[in-house]
Amino acid sequence: MPGTNASGPLGFILVGFSDWPQLELVLFGLIFFLYLTTLLGNATIILVSQLDPRLRTPMYFFLSHLSLLDICFSSSIVPQLLVNLGGLNKSISYWGCVVQLYVAMALGSTECVLLAVMSYDRYVAVCRPLHYALVMHPRLCRILASIAWLSGVATTLVQSTLTLQLPFCGHRRVDHIFCEVPVLIKLACVDTTFNQAELFVASVLFLVVPVSFILTSYICIARAVLKIKSAAGRKKAFGTCSSHLVVVVIFYGTIIFMYLQPAQSKSKDQGKFVSLFYTVVTPVLNPFIYTLRNKEVKAGFRKVLGRIA
């Protein structure tokens, strides 16, 4: 790899928030707490979904995959971030950066596709309720989940490999909180037009296309809900979709800002805080959004606690 000649043996320096030493201490405590909450909250959803027979449905099958993604995604970034925030050493080894780059991008891309798959599940549940069990059978659910995971792996193999082929010419300072493709491309000492174009295409495929699919699904859902005559029926239908919609808005809103907004229109500090949001905050919000607004999950959690007690 051309990039390893210069920066490989030495690795990189993740600048992060080192310009604000006082802020680093606050962020360390806050991120550490949020990370533990992410692990506990998402692990609880996976456990409850597996132990409660009433939650063995397509919706909770995909929700378990989302929780697993959030645990792995946070774990690929947060531990190294905490090390850098908690001490004077801001470095990350070359291979540590490589692993972080591949894993984080694969998981982030997988989540983009999985959220679109979950919107299809909600569409079938609301618009074709009588055929829901027939359409969303276990085999199809497993196929859709596999497509999400495999597409994430495929895009990171292409995008991350192309990025690591760039020569960094001794540039070691990564003015960011973790090794991310847009930031590493800026370190290259050659023309990166092709890499920028490839990143844009990948962003369209994994951001614009899924968002368009989700919007189409929810337009159909809204039309179906408005045709329901009873207020209780409309409330129940909206309730099955509202949690997923909130997650979609939070996740895609921050990711689109980072990957589709022109580089010159956002500052480096903005990029750091936006990345902090979708790597630390969003994963911890998902369990609360789903559990606080979902009586079935609450009931399943109480049932599991009752078994343990």
Sorted by where each begins, the domain ranges of the chain are 2-308
Q: Which CATH number fits domain 2-308: 1.20.1070.10, 1.10.220.10, 3.40.50.10610, 3.40.605.10?
A: 1.20.1070.10
Q: What is the pLDDT of residue 73?
A: 93
Ranges under pLDDT 70 in the chain = 1-9, 233, 236-237, 239-240, 261-269, 291-309
DSSP state of 130: G
Residue 306, H or E segment: helix 295-308
Q: How far, in Å, are 51, 64, 102, 133, 266 from residue 170 at the CA level?
A: 52, 42, 21, 57, 26
Q: What is the pLDDT of residue 1?
A: 42
Q: What is the pLDDT of residue 268?
A: 62
Kindly tell me the burial class for residue 48, based on how many C-beta atoms sit within 10 Å of its own C-beta (0-12, 13-18, 19 or more).
buried
Angle at 277 between CA 92 and CA 115, to 5 degrees: 105
Q: What is the pLDDT of residue 75?
A: 94
CB 5 within 8 A of CB 167: yes
Q: What is the pLDDT of residue 32?
A: 95
Q: What is the pLDDT of residue 6?
A: 44
Kindly tell me the burial class for residue 3, based on how many C-beta atoms sit within 10 Å of its own C-beta (0-12, 13-18, 19 or more).
buried
Give the whole-angstrom CA distance, residue 267 versus residue 183: 12
Q: What is the pLDDT of residue 262?
A: 61
